[in-house]
Structure 1
């Protein structure tokens, strides 16, 4: 069998097909063989050359959906905003990725297994926190943010909002979720990061109601 000269094209084809099938059939109902059959000219061996397991392809699809419209880049390019306003805007924009929300609605319990959660924890600190930190440091300079430990605050913000506040990982009713959101609002206000305002609270509750009606 000839060596694939364009592995990135094959990987994109796999991701495109997997995303389509996951959204149509759901994560649990879609098999690796379904993806291979849908592509047509791909063998299972070729699939496993790019993705070692179904968990790997799920993670890759989620990462792709999450980065298709980077809210931090969008917020950074909006003129006239201070550091706090950019961070708040990025937070709001992250909920406007409809494709990601539709995908999340079909996520099985796989995201609750320890290995996947551990990956999310590492991603929060290594990939997400630096974007938060850039806006926090800008806010400290322009006076809109007054935290004492910018790097640690950025990491804490990512971990709490992406893990502890996740309705997928910690399943609670909307009343409890609202209390969690208000607790984070009070917590971050107390350390000089008043990023969670009433608009964000309302958006969080709306997203929660959407996700629990799966």
Structure 2
């Protein structure tokens, strides 16, 4: 077989097609054969040359297509000189919740409790990249301009990421609107106690919308008679 002269282009095509299929059909209902058929001119061997499994494709889609977009949003907010530290922090989380492509994807993605690699990939990306590069500088800026009063910046950054990516994640903890409000009320009180009173009305409303959408998708995926397909 001839050597592929443009492996980067091949990988990019695989990821673009896979993301489209994951959004249209859901991750569980998309097979490697579906991806091959959609690509048209690549064999199964060519795909496995770049990715060991469908889960590896999922990880690459997250890392190169979704998380990169989140960081672009964060960078736009962090460099906005019109905002103080508290306003930047609130805007960062609101922008993340309003990221429709990411929301659609994670609604189509597998149950994270059954796909721990995806869950850890998301958390690792947040703690390794978002925390030190975006959250911590904004927390320090808020301390400097007086809009925040956070004594332990690094620890507060880690706590925010764990809460927003784990405890408030409706894909990990499906919740009714009432449960979502109770959970947000508790988190708001908890964060205020460490100088992070940042949960405003707009952020809470966006979270409720996101939670309701995730709950609806989960109910649909568990509908009687629907059978999930593997690879």
TM-score norm. by structure 1 comes to 0.92
- Gaps of at least 5 residues in structure 2 are 218-231
Is 1:9 the counterpart of 2:9 in the alignment?
yes
Structure 2 distance, partners of 1:36, 1:25, is 15
Contact 1:165-1:180 at 8 Å conserved across structures: yes
The 5 Å alignment of 1:117-136 reads 117-130=119-132, 131-136=134-139
Which of 88, 101, 104 is equivalent to 1:102?
Answer: 104
Structure 1 distance, partners of 2:114, 2:125, is 15
Is 1:53 the counterpart of 2:53 in the alignment?
yes
Structure 1 distance, partners of 2:152, 2:39, is 49
Is 1:90 the counterpart of 2:92 in the alignment?
yes
Structure 2 distance, partners of 1:86, 1:20, is 32
- Gaps of at least 5 residues in structure 1 are none
Deviations 1:135-163 (A, max 9, x none): 11111121111111101110110011111
Is 1:148 the counterpart of 2:151 in the alignment?
yes
Counterpart for residue 30 of structure 1: 30
| Partner-residue secondary structure (3-state), 2:81 | coil
Deviations 1:73-109 (A, max 9, x none): 1212323101111111111111222112122222222
Structure 2 distance, partners of 1:121, 1:153, is 15
The range that moved more, 139-148 or 104-113, is: 104-113
Contact 2:112-2:172 at 8 Å conserved across structures: no
Contact 2:85-2:148 at 8 Å conserved across structures: yes
How far off is 1:172 after superposition?
Answer: 2.1
Pair 110,80 (structure 1): closer, same or farther in 2 beyond 3 Å: closer
Counterpart for residue 224 of structure 2: none
| Partner-residue secondary structure (3-state), 2:109 | coil
| Partner-residue secondary structure (3-state), 1:73 | helix
Q: Which has the higher contact order (CA 8 A, sep 6+)?
A: 2
Structure 1 stretches of 4+ with a deviation exceeding 4 A read: none
Structure 1 distance, partners of 2:89, 2:114, is 28
Q: Cα RMSD over matched residues? A: 1.7
| Partner-residue secondary structure (3-state), 2:178 | helix
Deviations 1:8-53 (A, max 9, x none): 1111100111111112222111111111121122121221222221
Deviations 1:178-213 (A, max 9, x none): 111111111111111121112211211111111111
Contact 2:112-2:119 at 8 Å conserved across structures: no
Structure 2 distance, partners of 1:31, 1:166, is 26
Structure 2 distance, partners of 1:201, 1:173, is 14
Counterpart for residue 82 of structure 2: 80
Contact 1:185-1:197 at 8 Å conserved across structures: no
The range that moved more, 109-118 or 25-34, is: 109-118
Is 1:179 the counterpart of 2:168 in the alignment?
no
Counterpart for residue 40 of structure 1: 40
